[in-house]
Structure 1
Amino acid sequence: MERADLVFAIANWLALGGWLALALAPLKRNALVLAARIAAASVAAIYVLLLARGLAMGGGLPEGAGFDTLDGVIALLSRREAMLGAWIHFLAFDLFVGSWMAADAPKAGVPHWLLLPLLGLTLMAGPAGLVLYLLLAAAFRRRGRD
């Protein structure tokens, strides 16, 4: 197995463990949210190591790479190592957002059975899950005040 494939597998398994902890959060919410956050931080640490390694190794950017155009971003992510970093970036941030949602849900009055599909959506399409959670939590908070 190539090193990049191993890093990919490790990051995926760490993130999956964090998502499993969030799914089981009602059993022991504080400890399981903390476990998910530790998993997210571990995945983020892998990202930092990849970023530092990439900067140290140099090699320059692909021609046309940059953040100012869509084509520039496509060029930026055209290398396998860059795509691995981008994927790990998604894993870390989506898991952290999910952990925040699981910690916030009891305060908002959102039952865990309603949170579960939103955690799944956050895993698969991060911002969509977050937006729907924010709307649902706002509705539950408003209902609790009325």
Structure 2
Amino acid sequence: MNWDLIFTIPNNYALLMWLILAFAPRTKAILTGLFYGGIGLLACTYALTIIPLMTGIVDGGTAGVPDFSSLAGVQQLLASPGGATVGWIHYLAFDLFVGLWVARNADKYGFARWIQIPILAFVLMLGPLGLVLYLLLRFTRHNKVADAVIPE
């Protein structure tokens, strides 16, 4: 398989989805499109690549069945072209999902777009750190801790 191409297309597509999330109006149609056309399509791409890779139908550059129970096994998988590509698509899908949740939640709680954009950039680049930053920001809008940290 051409793992470079399989890496490049979803990577560029996810970047387009992030730009839409950050800068486009957040209408119902756009948010629905981001969910199904962005996250859903990335998730499908992941499924269509992980299944043949893990079953050995395609060669991903790994030797044998991946071992997820040890650090060495995960390192071996991620060091291969197929494993790194599939892992990256996994990150792209889940980070976009978190970014969409952050954006919708930030809109709900009245955070201006200029405050959201840097946090969305952190979610894109550093995933969980961006989520933590948003949760800390959201904490500033609530009197009770439970209201600040429990996702709605």
Deviations 1:82-131 (A, max 9, x none): 11000100111101110111111122222211110010011100000011
Aligned to 1:85: 86
Determine the structure 1 residue equivalent to 2:118: 117
**What's the offset of the Cα at 1:59?**
7.0
Q: Which moved more, 1:69-78 or 1:27-36?
A: 27-36
Letter in structure 1 aligned against 2:138 = A
Structure 1: how far apart are the matches of 2:26 and 2:79? 42
Gaps of 5+ in 1: none
**Residue 33 of structure 1 contacts residue 102 of structure 1 at CA under 8 Å; is this kept in 2?**
no
- Aligned partner letter, 1:32: I
Number of corresponding residues: 142
Residue 65 of structure 1 deviates from its aligned partner by: 4.8
> Which residue number in structure 1 is paired with residue 50 of structure 2?
51
AA aligned opposite 1:88: I
Aligned residues with identical type, % of pairs: 38
Q: Which residue of 2 aligns with 1:76?
A: 77
Question: 8 Å contact 2:106–2:116 — kept in the other structure?
Answer: yes
The residue number in structure 1 matching 2:28 is 30
Whole-angstrom CA distance in 2 between matches of 1:106 and 1:42 = 24
2:143 is aligned to 142
State how far apart, in whole Å, the 2-side matches of 1:11 and 1:64 are.
25
Instruction: Tell me the TM-score normalised to structure 2 length.
Output: 0.81
Secondary structure of residue in 1 paired with 2:140: helix
Question: Greater helix percent: which structure?
Answer: 1
Contact persistence 1:118–1:133 (CA under 8 A): yes
Task: State the alpha-carbon separation in 2 of the partners of residues 105 and 23 from structure 1.
Answer: 12
State the alpha-carbon separation in 2 of the partners of residues 56 and 68 from structure 1. 19
Using the TM superposition, name which of 108-117 and 58-67 deviates more: 58-67
Q: Residue 21 of structure 2 contacts residue 34 of structure 2 at CA under 8 Å; is this kept in 1?
A: yes
Q: 1:29 to 1:56 in 2, by over 3 A?
A: same
2:59 touches 2:82 (CA, 8 Å); kept in 1? no
Instruction: Tell me which amino acid in the other structure corresponds to 2:20.
Output: A
Contact 2:50 2:86 in 1 (8 A): yes
SS in 2 for 1:140: coil
Contact 1:64 1:72 in 2 (8 A): no
Query: TM-score scaled by structure 1?
Result: 0.84
2:9 matches 1:7:
no
1:133 offset after TM fit, Å?
0.6
